[in-house]
């Protein structure tokens, strides 16, 4: 394992050494320390230079625009953040989204969708749908893309499936980072990676799911578990994931099923990498390279 990876894994082991006493404490602590988890040995990630940040409200959903000075085209990128559907904000993710905007050359809209448990499913998906429709209504020339990490990757894929079901415009391409695609946690990696994933443990996934899903909600509904949907007709996909993730199989199984359905899929597994290595792109070369490759992926689909 490289020294940067050792530093991040050690940071995560220390950060989550004391388990919370209950869900409420876990969520409150996660929200309070969300951005702070990026500070390895006190080193703060830097936002991309030349990217202008503006407050936004699209389709009634708040968020922020990240506009690169070196625009690569007139298209737009919708970014949906992670955080287990219970934590995270557009501002928390600015050190990632600014680099995605810079690497892709596209103005990037990071949305603040409603969070569980105060607003469980389908609130977050409804907000992503509203923001997407707002981008479509704007009729900006050029392509429209979607990207998301973890729970945001889940919402990105669920959004695409819901748009397909409704007969509405699909994204021109989608990129996911460590996406959660199966809320039944049936993938083998929930067990085979349990000892090495210090970021999003199997117990954490279970906590997120029970707070996100209302009572009686079927966890195999494609709107919450995109893996179980009809994946035919989806746009080109780029799916990045770390080998040290309990969610590894969520990406690999989804990618395999999408390919079997005729979807163009590019999958990359980063060796020994934690969940969403891109979060520590200031420490991990893998994280910075992933953001570069995602930006290049979108540029190739103009």
List the catalytic residues. 150, 245, 275
Q: At what angle do helices 151-166 and 123-138 cross, to 10 degrees?
A: 60
107-111 and 61-68 strand pairing: antiparallel
Structure-token match 């030349």, residue found: 50
List, in sequence order, every residue forming a beta bridge with 164; answer none if it has no partner: none
Query: Who contacts 60 (Cβ-Cβ below 8 Å, separation ≥6)?
Result: 130, 134
CA separation for the pair 119, 20 (Å, rounded): 22
CA separation for the pair 62, 80 (Å, rounded): 12
Nearest 5°: phi and psi at 144? Answer: -125, 125
Query: Who contacts 103 (Cβ-Cβ below 8 Å, separation ≥6)?
Result: 48, 291, 292, 294, 295, 296
């Amino acid at each position: 394992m490289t020294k940067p990876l050792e530093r991040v894994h050690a940071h995560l082991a220390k950060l989550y050494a004391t388990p919370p006493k209950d869900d409420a404490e876990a969520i409150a602590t996660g929200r309070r320390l969300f951005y702070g988890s990026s500070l390895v040995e006190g080193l703060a990630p830097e936002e991309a230079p030349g990217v202008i940040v503006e407050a936004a409200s699209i389709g009634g959903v708040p968020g922020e625009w990240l506009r690169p000075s070196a625009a690569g085209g007139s298209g737009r990128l919708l970014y949906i953040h992670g955080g287990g559907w219970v934590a995270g904000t557009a501002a928390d993710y600015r050190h990632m989204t600014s680099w995605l905007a810079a690497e892709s050359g596209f103005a990037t809209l990071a949305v603040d969708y409603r969070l569980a448990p105060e607003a469980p499913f389908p609130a977050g998906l409804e907000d992503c749908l509203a923001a997407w429709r707002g981008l479509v209504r704007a009729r900006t020339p050029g392509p429209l893309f979607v990207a998301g990490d973890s729970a945001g990757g889940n919402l990105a894929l669920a959004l695409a499936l819901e748009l397909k079901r409704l007969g509405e415009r699909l994204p021109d391409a989608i990129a996911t980072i460590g996406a959660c695609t199966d809320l039944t946690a049936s993938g083998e990696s929930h067990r085979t990676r349990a000892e090495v994933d210090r970021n999003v443990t199997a117990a954490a996934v279970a906590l997120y799911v029970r707070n996100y899903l209302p009572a009686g909600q079927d966890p195999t509904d494609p709107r919450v578990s995109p893996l179980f949907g009809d994946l035919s007709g989806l746009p080109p996909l780029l799916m990045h994931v770390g080998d040290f993730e309990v969610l590894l199989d969520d990406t690999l199984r989804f990618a395999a099923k999408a390919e079997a359905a005729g979807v163009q899929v590019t999958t990359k597994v980063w060796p020994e990498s934690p969940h969403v290595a891109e979060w520590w792109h200031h420490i991990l070369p893998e994280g910075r390279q992933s953001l570069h490759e995602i930006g290049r992926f979108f540029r190739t689909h103009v």
